[in-house]
Structure 1
Amino acid sequence: MGSTSEFGRRDLIKKAAALGLVTVPAMSALSACATSGGDDRKVEKGKKTDSNPFGVNEKAGLEVVIFDGGFGTQYAKDAAKDYEKKYGAVKLKATQDIQPLLQPRMVGGTPPDLVDNSGAKAMDAATLIAKGQIADLTPLLDAPSYDDPDKKVRDILVPGTIEMGQYGDDKCYRLNYAFTTYGVWYSKKTLEDNGWEYPKTWDEMLALCAKAKKKGIAGWTYAGKYPYYIAFALYPFIAKIGGSDVIKAIDNLEPNAWKHDAVLKAFEAYYELEAKGYILKGTPGLDHIQSQTQWTKGKALFIPNGSWVENEAKATTPKDFEVTMAPPSSLDSSDKMPFETIWAKADEPFIVPKQAKNVEGGLEMLRVMLSKKAAQNFAELVSSLTCVQGATDGMDLPPGLASSSQALKDAGDNVVNPRIRDWYQTLDKEKIGGILAEMMAGRMKPKEAVSAIQKAADETAKDDSIKKYKHS
């Protein structure tokens, strides 16, 4: 373990990088071509049949790496057992260090066969795709679904799932297994016990936070060490104020997109939470687990998060807590989109590395995971929807999942899906996240934050080494 001074030095470098004061060669190793491996690693293919559409070698083993985060790993272990009923043994490794563990293997041409590329240390998918290191999943989409051979896999997926795996062409490189809703989470019991209602406007939000403060409860907390969590509520808030085109302009790296009036209004609103002392003391130093624990302990009313939080925070959540999700509060009656507007998308991206030994096995494992049995098991285990249509119909859902499902229904067509997070991961996590952290800690004013983020976005737009994407 390094010295305290070394950790302090690293933190300073990270903060400086987030503010654009220094340049960090993030993901530079991925820009190199694979230096070893290749076709000589591939296992011999099996015979294609109706029940084995990819021609998986039935004796070949399969290596899978799963992100050990909010969804845990049991769902993958259960699916692996079903896979093993027909094919070789599955070696499954769980980790939170996806990039540190797998980046050298991707570059060296010795990757696993299937990867859950998720979490704070996920690999930059856009870079991997640009370097030709991820297999096209179109064969999976065109294969017969596991439960009904008359339906292709693409026909059983929730709309928008395939698009989330596309990067500028018709090919699909990622299968986003979970269907995630993002918003503001709270304890229904806490609000009801105090006679409070969820605030639908920002004035109502500030008024409720003031009442909570008098009772010794903070209005908000968040993952200060991973400040991009703030965006889970902030991006749909911006869309409500200025319309979905503002988010599209941000995604497209358009000049002055971040200087839209809706962005400044949203920043000023969230900055007011800090300025009025409505954020839990010490929040900037908390990680996602610590902030969620403070929330489940009743130290703060609200936390911006995704629908995985019900499962991830389960160990510290009181039985009568009643985890509930709501859309971010509206600003006021001038908003362009209704209160019900939320951010929702297919998430938890799985990839099959192109240089994997058993690409066919990786595709088949995904096909197994897209069975109704596996999808329902996922929902039961982790309180989240999957990308499989109708998988949870008729199921008795836990409160958080039920509320997020209802929020999705209430939103109708008013669903936004910012792509900047997966198109430009370094910009989103290191630059935008770092700047938001400074603002939410009171160390940077909203106008300064807007200018700093626009500068970072402009630098990305001008960097010819970064592939660019556009909304159609």
Structure 2
Amino acid sequence: MGSTSAHGNEGLGRRDLIKRSAAIGLITVPTMSLLTSCATGGGGSDEKKTKAPAGKTSATNPLGVEKGAALEAFIFKGGLGDQYAKDAEADYKSTYGATVKHTGTQQVGPKLTPRFAGGNPPDVIDNSGADHLNMNKLSAQGQLQDLKALLDAGSIDDPAKKVRDTIHPSTLEKGLHGETFDVLYYAFTIYGTWYSQKLMDAKGWEYPKTLDAMVKLCGDIKKEGIAPWTYAGKYPYYVHFNLFAQIAKIGGMDAWMAIDNLEPNAWTKNDAVKEVIEHYEELAAKKYFLEGSQGLTHIQSQTQWTKGKAVFIPNGSWVENEAAPTTPEDFGMAVGALFDGTGDKMPHGTLRAEPSEPFIVPSKGKNPVGGMELLRIMLSKKHAQNFATKVKSLTCVMDATEGMKLSPGLASASSVFKEAGSNLVTCQLQEWYPALTDEKMGGLTGQLLTGDLKAADWIKKTQEACDKVAKDDSVTKFKRTS
């Protein structure tokens, strides 16, 4: 995955329990993950895919939406809120003279599972949050509308330009099940090490370029009576946002894909794994984490950070919106790219940036064409910019924020994204095997950060856990090649 932007409220919010492929039925079990990128692979048959009926088409109505065709939208209402969707729905309503039924909820799966079973799902769904629907299963069952017609339609801003040519290529890759594009990841999440530019400037500190420089800076920070780092200890998989990407940056994407693909010895034979995990072991040994971090939720750790109790926090770009209630106006929220290690396969400035916030159009809804049209409206620059303004997050629409005055965190995220160019890290392990990464490995990472587990043992136990999943025929496997 998001992105994307924010979680729900205090407790188990949208990114704390985003649960992916380990589902039974349509709703996933309570594990934790994130939204990542690249083609999902695996997945189901396309033979049950249906085509949406279309009315008369035109340059301004390329999908053939019928005038007066009512629309029903189900939107996850977490840290992003749902006003951005309501704004797009208002344009649909005025354009087509149609009623729009809107539901904002944090219980997408529980509310919609019986409706899918009964053959009367809504027309468009923001399928996010803790209790979201299992899209792998829905796609295999032919329940998701093939969105090729949307991609091939003329864009709102320039009817001569196809929608597919206005959105980031990784969004096109990520939305695939097999060869069928049936999920639109609307947001774009920037992951990295977040900090206060004001604090850094006031202390004369510079964001470090290397792992070694980070360790040295942590020593200087600690002498000032401030903790270098904090993290969501109750959900230690947050640390994986950076940890996994750091391994991929140093070891290269081929070596990381071996990890995603659960290949034997993918962890133990990768020198980058040893370097990165030993780095975290050193941070723990030198007590560079805020005391008590192991007991903090994501909200609590972010609050300690915005209060200046810690300098750095691993997170995604939703943090600006989510932490807004406790962030001082002059905080200067900023994010840094991945650190350089030893003999890196990817250059300085490499960043983890991935599509997030999945929207789906049920194939058996009453108005799938209208559902796709709402997405086409959302993919206009007007609504991409509205999203950036309201929730401080990028969308998949390329260059949509050009010329806008952005919030500090979003401006920083946009800057590092541009600087990274094509040097982007994508990780699928948490997407595909959340019970493995967020429960089993999360527990190991929690022990690593408190100094209760050595790096060598973390690597050994992680490899064993991955091997166990690889041999478990009850777990659906996926494979990536890019």
Interval of TM-score (by shorter of Structure 1 and Structure 2): 0.7 to 0.9
Are the equivalent residues in 2 in contact too, given 1:243–1:336 (CA < 8 A)?
yes
2:449 paired with 1:440: yes
**Residue identity matched to 1:284:** Q
Partner of residue 286 from structure 1, selected from 273, 296, 311? 296
Secondary structure of 2:169's match?
coil
2:241 paired with 1:232: yes
Q: How does 1:103-122 map to 2 (within 5 A)?
A: 103-122=113-132
Counterpart in the other structure of 2:276: 266
**Residue identity matched to 1:457:** C
Counterpart in the other structure of 1:313: 323
> What CA deviation, in whole Å up to 9, does each residue of 1:226-261 have, x standing for no partner?
332212211221022212212211122222212222
Secondary structure of 2:180's match?
coil
Q: Distance in 2 between matches of 1:418 and 1:102?
A: 29
Counterpart in the other structure of 2:56: 48
2:419 paired with 1:393: no
Are the equivalent residues in 2 in contact too, given 1:179–1:347 (CA < 8 A)?
yes
Q: How does 1:68-83 map to 2 (within 5 A)?
A: 68-83=77-92
In the TM superposition, structure 1's runs of 4+ consecutive aligned residues that sit over 6 Å from their partners are none
The alpha-carbon deviation at position 317 of structure 1 amounts to 0.8
2:151 paired with 1:155: no
Question: 220-229 or 312-321: which moved more?
Answer: 220-229
Are the equivalent residues in 2 in contact too, given 1:30–1:107 (CA < 8 A)?
no
Are the equivalent residues in 2 in contact too, given 1:252–1:471 (CA < 8 A)?
no
Counterpart in the other structure of 2:44: none
Are the equivalent residues in 2 in contact too, given 1:181–1:345 (CA < 8 A)?
yes
Are the equivalent residues in 2 in contact too, given 1:73–1:94 (CA < 8 A)?
yes
Partner of residue 185 from structure 2, selected from 169, 176, 187? 176
Are the equivalent residues in 2 in contact too, given 1:221–1:291 (CA < 8 A)?
yes
Are the equivalent residues in 1 in contact too, given 2:262–2:470 (CA < 8 A)?
yes
TM-score (norm 2): 0.83
Query: Any gaps of 5 or more consecutive residues in structure 2?
Result: 1-11, 13-20, 29-49
Larger relative contact order (Cα-Cα within 8 Å, sequence gap ≥ 6): 2
Partner of residue 68 from structure 2, selected from 59, 76, 80? 59
Counterpart in the other structure of 1:164: 174
Q: Distance in 2 between matches of 1:173 and 1:408?
A: 26
**Residue identity matched to 2:205:** W
**Residue identity matched to 1:202:** L
Q: Distance in 2 between matches of 1:175 and 1:204?
A: 39
Partner of residue 23 from structure 2, selected from 21, 27, 52? 27
Counterpart in the other structure of 2:286: 276
> What CA deviation, in whole Å up to 9, does each residue of 1:121-147 have, x standing for no partner?
444433433343322211211122122
Q: How does 1:192-341 map to 2 (within 5 A)?
A: 192-259=201-268, 260-332=270-342, 334-341=343-350
The alpha-carbon deviation at position 298 of structure 1 amounts to 0.8
> What CA deviation, in whole Å up to 9, does each residue of 1:399-458 have, x standing for no partner?
212211121122122211112233334434333334323433444332332233323333
Q: Distance in 2 between matches of 1:268 and 1:412?
A: 29
Counterpart in the other structure of 2:41: none
**Residue identity matched to 2:436:** L
Q: Which has the higher helix share?
A: 1
Judged with a 3 Å threshold, the aligned counterparts in structure 2 of structure 1 residues 306 and 31 are, in CA distance, closer, same or farther, namely: closer
The alpha-carbon deviation at position 181 of structure 1 amounts to 1.3
Judged with a 3 Å threshold, the aligned counterparts in structure 2 of structure 1 residues 111 and 387 are, in CA distance, closer, same or farther, namely: same
Q: Distance in 2 between matches of 1:127 and 1:134?
A: 10
Q: Among the aligned pairs, what percent are the same residue?
A: 54
Are the equivalent residues in 1 in contact too, given 2:27–2:131 (CA < 8 A)?
no
The alpha-carbon deviation at position 459 of structure 1 amounts to 3.3
Query: Any gaps of 5 or more consecutive residues in structure 1?
Result: 1-10, 12-24, 33-41
The alpha-carbon deviation at position 100 of structure 1 amounts to 4.1
> What CA deviation, in whole Å up to 9, does each residue of 1:201-233 have, x standing for no partner?
222212222222233321111222333221221
